[in-house]
Amino acid sequence: MEIKELVDLLPEGYEKECYEKKATRRKRTIKNPLDLIVLLLYYLYDNHSLVDVSQFAILKNIGKISDTALIKRFVQCKDWIQWLISEMLPNEIIHYKKPKELEPYRVIAVDASDIVQKGAVKKTWHLHYGIDLFSLTCNQFKLTEQSTGESLKNFNIEEKDLTIADRAYGTIRSIEHCLNNGGEFIIRIKNKAFNLYNQNREKILLSDWLRTISEKAEELRVYIKDSNKNLIPLRICAVKKTKEEIAIEEKRLKRLESKKQTTYSEDTKFTHGFMFVITSLPTSVSAEKVLEYYRLRWQVELVFKRYKSLLGLGNIPTKTKESSEVWLNGKMFLALLIEKYLGDIDFSPSWNIRTEPEHMERDEIGTLFDLYDAVSK
């Protein structure tokens, strides 16, 4: 990759925004926005130290700048990097064929991951992340304190968004946030995550209904109460797990009982023999299809694993909140550059609803080396 190809990956107006957001103020050392990006990418690639970057700047005739001055410059880049990310997030490069009934929706899978900051006092951040499942591109992300738990309130949900989330997001607050913003959802829930009601406002037990279903996917019309005690009509979609899956689940529960020194109720053990989600999708989308679409969310877990291992997202080599945020934002910027580059060379396979993960690490590693070559020349 030539440096011109790197420039072509950047959003239009990146130089103007660099000056307007005061990412670079003094031209005595770092003379232009591209030099700043080159130094940032070198810093992010293979987790080079600031001393390495300082020496690299001299070697490439960018300028003489100390490691202390570099981190200050990178911190000044925060708003600019966030602008670069925001401009690249909607960049749907790779288009997959959606099932017809999902065509009206932007389908987003969300998840969160812990990011550890190195140092004498190890600080853990919570990275909330969403991807568009039919373009496999980053939709949005948010960095918060570890105390901020998983919730759909961490995401900007818009009308016609279909959000797919795991049990950590199965709360009334998450559901309200989604519906209040015109979105739909498929969320896996825990047994007794919240009260369920029938149309007469009478409580119903999920386990009672699960005992009545057969081997095929079935649905139950239910209501939940919002914060104003109003009834919201939804559906529970469930299917019985296979004998093999149930056996695996039983072993997992036994390990948890031993680890936590507790005993799960027979009711809890029984419900673990089923896969069930709650959804706001119209009844025209069958229970079988709802469950099938939920399984697509493994894509977001793959993205986390790829980014954390490939880009080193697991450890933050900085000491302050400001520099840590810049490092994390920079890593996401690098990841988006890779996504765009791979998309521009039409790398990704055509979409099918897959049952097994497909790894793309070899191509992404090659892209990292391409970017490294571009900034090193």
pLDDT tens digits, one per residue of 125-158: 788 888 777 766 666 777 788 888 899 999 999 9
Q: Does position 231 have pLDDT exceeding 50, yes or no?
A: yes
Single out the residue of 98, 155, 90, 101 nearest to residue 128, CA to CA.
155
| Predicted pLDDT at 168 | 92
Q: How many CB atoms lie within 10 A of CB 296?
A: 17
| Confidence at 237, pLDDT banded by 50, 70, 90 | very high
Q: Does position 65 have pLDDT exceeding 50, yes or no?
A: yes
| Confidence at 194, pLDDT banded by 50, 70, 90 | very high
Q: How far apart are CA 369 and CA 90, in angstroms?
A: 25
Backbone phi, psi, residue 123, to 5°: -105, 140
Please state the rounded mean pLDDT for residues 191-203.
92
Q: What is the per-residue DSSP string for 303-316?
A: HHHHHHHHS-TTEE
3-state secondary structure of 281: coil
Q: How far is CA 18 from CA 9, 13, 22, 50, 334, in A?
A: 16, 9, 6, 21, 17
Helix (H) or strand (E) holding 99: none
| Confidence at 255, pLDDT banded by 50, 70, 90 | very high
pTM, to two decimals: 0.69
| Predicted pLDDT at 356 | 36
Q: Which two tokens stand for residue 97?
A: 């064929």
Ordered by start, the domain boundaries in the chain are 3-90+318-376
Q: Which two tokens stand for residue 62?
A: 């960018």
| Predicted pLDDT at 140 | 75
Q: How far apart are CA 22 and CA 17, in angstroms?
A: 8
Q: What is the DSSP letter of 279?
A: E
Specify which residues 164 forms β-bridges with.
109, 186
* 74-129: pLDDT as tens digits: 888 888 988 888 787 644 434 456 788 999 999 998 988 887 766 666 778 788 88
Q: How far apart are CA 36 and CA 170, in angstroms?
A: 42
Residue 364 vs residue 140, higher pLDDT: 140
| Confidence at 368, pLDDT banded by 50, 70, 90 | low
Q: Does position 63 have pLDDT exceeding 90, yes or no?
A: no
Of 221-225, 231-235, 266-270, 307-311, the range with the lowest mean pLDDT is 307-311
Q: Which two tokens stand for residue 202?
A: 């009478």
Single out the residue of 239, 199, 197, 236 nearest to residue 219, CA to CA.
236
Q: Does position 310 have pLDDT exceeding 70, yes or no?
A: no
Q: How far apart are CA 27 and CA 33, in angstroms?
A: 10
Q: How far apart are CA 160 and CA 111, in angstroms?
A: 19
- End-to-end CA, the chain: 10
Among left, alpha and beta (phi > 0; psi -120 to 50; other), residue 261 is left
Q: At what angle do helices 361-376 and 298-310 cross, to 10 degrees?
A: 40
Please state the rounded mean pLDDT for residues 345-357.
34
| Predicted pLDDT at 117 | 66
Q: How far apart are CA 57 and CA 28, in angstroms?
A: 13
Q: Which residues contact 265 (CB under 8 A, 6 or more apart)?
A: none
Q: Does position 223 have pLDDT exceeding 90, yes or no?
A: yes
| Predicted pLDDT at 367 | 57
| Predicted pLDDT at 119 | 62
Q: How far apart are CA 156 and CA 350, in angstroms?
A: 28
Mean pLDDT for all residues in the chain? 81
Q: How far apart are CA 24 and CA 77, in angstroms?
A: 8
Specify the pairing of strand 123-132 against strand 184-188.
unpaired
Q: How many CB atoms lie within 10 A of CB 124?
A: 12
Q: At what angle do helices 298-310 and 321-344 cross, to 10 degrees?
A: 110
Please state the rounded mean pLDDT for residues 280-286.
95
| Predicted pLDDT at 137 | 62
| Predicted pLDDT at 8 | 86
Please state the rounded mean pLDDT for residues 257-261.
88
Q: How far apart are CA 286 and CA 96, in angstroms?
A: 22
